[in-house]
Amino acid sequence: MIGDPGGKDSERSFLDEVTLAHNVTSIQNQINTLISNIKSVLWEELPTQPVVNNKDFYDSMGFIDFLREAGKYITVNSMLTKETVKKRIEDPDKSISYTEFSYMLIQWYDFYKLYADQWVKLQIAGSDQWGNVTTGTEIIRKKTDGWEAYAFTCPLVLDSNGKKFWKSEGNAIWLNSTKNSPYFVYQYFLNVADADVERFLKLFTFYDFDTIDQIVATHNTDPAARHGQSLLAEYVVKLIFWPESARQAQMVTDFFFWPWDILEKIKNMSSDDIDALIRETGWIDFTKFKKEEYTSISSQGYTIDISYLLYHTGLTSSNKDAKNQIQQKGLYYNEKVIEDLYMPFLSSDAINGVILLRKGKKGYRVVRVG
């Protein structure tokens, strides 16, 4: 409800309470899922604490009470020295409202409240929060006559090229499983630079250092095999999604780079594997066309002109585009070159309930039949 000025050049927009409540629930679900997955990966029970929403204690606290409880113990002078505030004040094209300026008081008091009520002695934050969390320890010391609390900050994670994991960089990895797929996360870590493998194994997995040394040593004997990246990718997917998701991400990866009979591979997939595959390739449900004017019934089941299906799967933009690509022999139906724009798509051609369309080398679409 009050934005942190850190990392921003201008005032944040306020969120309404419905949006805030949704965000809180989403974050709680992400944390609970992550902890559950960590337990399953480590095969051990982890001590967990309840999630606390600071809104619960501010709702019952008056403004005057807050000033007496939090504002009394810190000077404006010290608040003005905080980097996040100073740069907004010194730049004539920027400014900071009293609302954002007071945010640090709330963060400091949060730490004290958790310390006093639940004996929380350590606050962990990003490195850009260093000033806020250390001042929190100072307030605790002043309000408790010298009792100690601690601050721990983590730097932003950068790759070997200095790029951060961020939405603006196009490489954000989300803990919300609806925002990126297991295959996306798997592919990201499978393709990190060799120079990042050891550091990322230490940051994002629970392998002990001796194991990581062994992984890196094996990796360095043949970097092209991506041994280190494979173990890193598998581990991260297990933590964010579920152990089975890592296997499916590997399965989809194998599918895209499978050098042998890809239809035989589809034939041997489980229904869950098929579901994972269609999520990653782009797909269409053929049954939705059964009542369309383009569809007819024959002795071989439902049929449809291939041009119509190519368009609706996004492989072609029009009949003209389809015709051009067919002439160039760039479109495939169950791995056979499509030679006729008006050839029938036959539901009886389904393998394990699906038919495979392909454009070029890797432009797959899966059509679910039945």
Q: Does residue 27 sit in the same domain as residue 127?
A: yes
Other residues' Cβ atoms within 10 Å of the Cβ of residue 21 = 13
* Residue carrying the six token digits 């066309």: 289
Q: Does residue 138 sit in the same domain as residue 233?
A: no
- Backbone dihedral angles phi then psi of residue 206, each to the nearest 5 degrees: -105, 15
Rounded to two decimals, what is the model's pTM? 0.76
CA distance 229 to 215: 10
The mean pLDDT value of the chain amounts to: 85
* Domain stop point among 109, 130, 154: 154
Dihedral class, residue 4 (left if φ above 0, else alpha if ψ from -120 to 50, else beta): beta
Residue of 303 and 76 predicted with greater confidence: 76
Quick one: pLDDT at residue 172? 78
The total number of structural domains in the chain stands at 3
CA distance 243 to 234: 8
Largest CA distance in the chain: 88
CA distance 45 to 47: 7
Question: Within a domain: residue 338?
Answer: yes
**Does 249 score more than 60 pLDDT?**
yes
Side chain identity at residue 366, one-letter code: V
Question: Within a domain: residue 159?
Answer: no
In terms of Cα–Cα distance, which of 125, 237, 240, 235 is closest to 175?
240
Quick one: pLDDT at residue 217? 97
Q: What is the pLDDT of residues 282-333, one digit of tens each?
A: 777 776 665 554 455 555 556 677 777 788 888 999 888 988 998 899 999 9
Question: Within a domain: residue 83?
Answer: yes
**Does 7 score more than 70 pLDDT?**
no
Other residues' Cβ atoms within 10 Å of the Cβ of residue 41 = 16
Quick one: pLDDT at residue 193? 92
CA distance 89 to 130: 19
CA distance 201 to 189: 10
Q: Does residue 27 sit in the same domain as residue 52?
A: yes
- Packing angle of the helix pair 227-240, 17-42 (nearest 10 deg): 130
- Backbone dihedral angles phi then psi of residue 359, each to the nearest 5 degrees: -120, 120
Q: Which domain holds residue 205?
A: 167-257
Q: Does residue 24 sit in the same domain as residue 148?
A: yes
- Write out the two tokens for 112: 């004290």
